[in-house]
Amino acid sequence: MASIQDVADQINARLDQVATNTADTAQNTAENVSVSKDIRNELIQSNNRLSQIDNTLNLGFSNISQGIFTLVQLQLAALNLLDHHRKQNDVIICELVNNNKLLCNIKRKMGMQLQLAEQSLASTERIEGILERVYCSESADYDRQQEIEQKIEDCCPPEPPRKEKCPEVCKTPDYKQREPQGLEWKPLPTPQQPKPEG
């Protein structure tokens, strides 16, 4: 049978072993706390970096979208101006077609008038030559009559012949300038790096 001293020694030995194990556990726990703090700090820094990247991407997308909007507005204004130039060119083409028609009609009528005038002149000269030979006194009387009629015409001229109708005037387009929007746009400021926690 074991003595009380032996039992006490065994209990003391066990208590020493428990104390040693407790000290080791406390030391391991302290080391784990230190490692956990290091991991926490690394996670905070990574989170700060990710937040900064997220802010930078948001800012970049916002700047790009506003810049694209401004470019689209300028493009729309340019297209509006080009459309106005297209309409003006249509008017110029219309005027050229009208002028071409007028010139063609004038040329045709002038050619016909020239032929008639030449034929009339030849006929008139022939008739005058014949009549002056046959009716000398009547020719002098005719010349006097012409002078009197010329004086009357100078005094009271006859109504001028009616003018030919001109083609319709081509409608000139009105230019309505398109004001682009968003030209006051400026890039957003660069985001500040977040301050580390702890």
pTM (predicted TM-score): 0.44
Domain residue spans of the chain: 4-155
CA angle (93, 94, 95) in 5-degree steps: 90
The percentage of residues in the chain with a pLDDT greater than 90, rounded to a whole number, is 0
Selection from 102, 90, 99 nearest residue 171 by Cα: 90
Residue 188's pLDDT band (cuts 50, 70, 90): low
Give Cα 68 to chain centroid, integer Å.
13
Give Cα 72 to chain centroid, integer Å.
7
Instruction: Give residue 139's pLDDT.
Output: 76
Q: Rounded to whole angstroms, how far apart are CA atoms 119 and 127?
A: 12
